[in-house]
Amino acid sequence: MTVGPIIGLVIFFVFFLVLLYMVFKADKGFINKMKDMPLNDGTVAHHDENEKTE
């Protein structure tokens, strides 16, 4: 039995567990700030009522 696949599997599970820990322990205010960031770029969106969308 080779050691390479076992090491890869262990690294994957450790990474996955650390990621889950970070997700559940993250600050909710920070998550909401990051969630809204792409939409809050300081520009005003204009909507043309005559423009047709298909």
- pLDDT single digits (tens) 41-52: 667 666 667 766
DSSP 3-state of 14: helix
- pLDDT single digits (tens) 12-54: 999 999 999 998 998 899 888 888 887 766 676 666 677 666 5
pLDDT value of residue 52: 65
pTM over 0.75? The answer is: no
Domain range annotation of the chain: 4-39
Question: 6-11, long-range: CB within 8 Å, 24+ apart, which pairs?
Answer: none
